[in-house]
Amino acid sequence: MDLGLIGKAAIVTGGSAGIGRAVALRLAQEGARVAICARRAEPLEQAAAGLREDSGGEVLAVPADVSQDGDVRRLVEQAVERFGRLDILVNNAGTSAASPFAEVDDATWQADLDLKLFAAIRTIRLAIPHLAEAGGGSIVNVVNIGAKAPPANSVPTSVSRAAGIALTKALSKELAPQNIRVNAVCIGMIKSDQWVRRATSLGQDLDQYYHAVTRERAIPLGRVGEAEEVGDLVAFLASERGRYITGTAINIDGGSSAMV
């Protein structure tokens, strides 16, 4: 299936590792030019070099913290300056932040909302004129399954992510006349660098950690997902093949969520 991504231009936030890197790779392999950002310049540059090598495509690295308005502005400006257009925005940068309500102070709430909600608001606001100028485009917001069915001890993430789904739905209706589609992907448990760091900090072997999580969460498909599997879904949603899909929040969780 030809995704029709050749010549398109994309921004993937948090593209130096994990899910974001896998999304950037799939888009680049399908012929899109991709700008990735992350806070740490060196791993970002290394990731960009690896992505160019693995895809043969054009990959721009822009060091940026998505929770900072000025950084987001620079990211969008540099991507558009390099590629001359923008067709796809993937809001992916983020990290897990789930605690009992009583343990979460205002600063932690604010930091999570800045990282997950305001980052998406600002990137989308800046991207809209460029997506419209390109004749339409696709925005994919990476959220988690807790956004639809928040469990206990899941704040602030579940609340920030629920807001991400509401933003997705509202904008899908508002931007449809400009042929800009807006969708969310709800992540369950996907292998990525954040879990490598978690297993290391617990002194656990990574495979054993993933097996334990699979058991604890009773993941119906019996395994943790691969970042490449999210890359495939996001590339499809961003592509011409997904052109009638907007306003959805698709679970990619091996069947974990109780919600459809």
Ligand X SMILES: NC(=O)c1ccc[n+]([C@@H]2O[C@H](COP(=O)([O-])OP(=O)(O)OC[C@H]3O[C@@H](n4cnc5c(N)ncnc54)[C@H](OP(=O)(O)O)[C@@H]3O)[C@@H](O)[C@H]2O)c1
Beta carbon nearer to ligand X, 76 or 134: 76
Residues 97 and 108: beta-carbon distance below 8 Å: yes
Q: Rounded CA gap, 25 and 193, in Å? A: 16
Residues 159 and 167: beta-carbon distance below 8 Å: no
In the DSSP assignment, the letter for residue 258 is S
Contact between 88 and ligand X (CB under 6 A)? no
Choose which of 45, 54, 69, 193 interacts with ligand X (CB under 6 A). Answer: 193
> What are 237's two structure tokens?
């949603």
What is the maximal distance between C-alpha atoms in the chain? Answer: 52
Choose which of 20, 137, 156, 231 interacts with ligand X (CB under 6 A). Answer: 20
Stretch that binds ligand X, among 15-23, 120-128, 202-210, 237-245 (CB under 6 A): 15-23
Contact between 18 and ligand X (CB under 6 A)? yes
Contact between 140 and ligand X (CB under 6 A)? no
Residues with Cβ within 8 Å of 17's Cβ and at least 6 positions away in sequence, in order, are: 38, 43, 47, 192, 193
Stretch that binds ligand X, among 58-66, 82-90, 175-183, 232-240 (CB under 6 A): 58-66
> What are 250's two structure tokens?
């698709």
Choose which of 78, 178, 179, 194 interacts with ligand X (CB under 6 A). Answer: 194
Site track 144-173 with ligand X (rule: CB under 6 A), x = hit: x-----------------------------
Residues 231 and 187: beta-carbon distance below 8 Å: no
Contact between 4 and ligand X (CB under 6 A)? no
Q: Rounded CA gap, 9 and 31, in Å? A: 9
Contact between 65 and ligand X (CB under 6 A)? yes
Q: Which residues bind ligand X (CB under 6 A)?
A: 13-14, 16-20, 37-40, 43, 64-67, 92-96, 115, 142, 144, 187, 189-190, 192-194
